[in-house]
Structure 1
Amino acid sequence: MKLLFLYASTNGHTRTISQHLATYINAQQPTWQITQQPIETAHTITPSEFDGIILGASIRYGKHHRAVSAFIDQHQHTLTQRLFAFYSVNLTARKPEKNTPQTNPYIQKFYQSLPIKPTLDAVFAGRLAYPEYAWYNKLMICLIMKLTHGPTNLSTIKVFTNWQAVEHFAQRLIAQLTQRYSWRSGKVVQGGEPSP
């Protein structure tokens, strides 16, 4: 099994989540081959060589990185033939009522612009680190936090990510990939039909 993890990370936390997912899966399935790299270098790989493609993207000023939708547009045929998973990382997901793909406004808006939808998806709360931001970004994010009742102290560094949720997503990935591989290999899988 070959997996490709691509991430669009602004300040590094989406990369950290990608690494956590890959490490967890590798511990459960040590024979699986995992490749990780930033979305900006996606032109150096051939997605069709992988059994699963897991794409993660952070939100900056209400939008996912443009390279993410460009990658999906360019490789939509391949993505429909593989397990395609997507997760969004944003601070809005720190709120329980906005921490699922169905209730998170950013991911719902993003899906409206895509030609295809992922097989699996998730939303994870990100990391707030005012001291690491440029002054303009710091003020803008502080304003957003004030409007959404988040931390506004400019010395705040806080990770809102629910790591159990990240590992649950990894478990779902393993289950889906194992099921798909078993059906394609002609093995009997307990519990239902092959994944679409």
Structure 2
Amino acid sequence: MPQPMPNEILEGIKSAFETRYPARTVTRNWQDRSAYKNEELKPGILTLVYSGESPLGDVYNTRMNFMVIGRIYCGKDADGIDVEDAELNFLKEWRLFCSSSAAGNISIQKVMTSQQQEKPDGWFICECVAGPYDFGGEIDWLPEGPEEVPAEIHVGLSPDIGNEENYFTLSDLEPEENA
């Protein structure tokens, strides 16, 4: 069975957030602010962007790094505190989602906000980690089928470990009475 890849995992996170918060728009396609009309940003747009993996070299125990960018337009008359409130409310939804069973294993590592400096627009960026995942692809190194299972298992006990002449077959062992 193929293992999930980062795009599939992020699509799953996207779908789960959309289901939980249908008023928000969720996308995997980051665009510059100029690509949006104010009305499109009013309900809030959440963008998920893959940013890497760790630890490198361990495809069977990999954590996926991604960024979450939340954007919101607060209206032309919004004050800085209005923008901050909108950002923090949107961020709270993302935090609640990350701590829910819908999200899987997501932890927020770092949060940055607009710091009220781009009013009437607000935004936050979360650096997130999800996983661990098995990005090793198909498991092709394990034996398949009963023909690969050994008919007998030979074991040795101390002090005879490594001396195969003294090994015995597990099936030769008889259960001890009154054990």
Is the TM-score greater than 0.5?
no
Bigger strand share: 2
TMscore range, shorter length: 0.3 to 0.5
TM-score, structure 1 length as denominator?
A: 0.31
Which structure has the greater CA radius of gyration? Answer: 2
Bigger helix share: 1
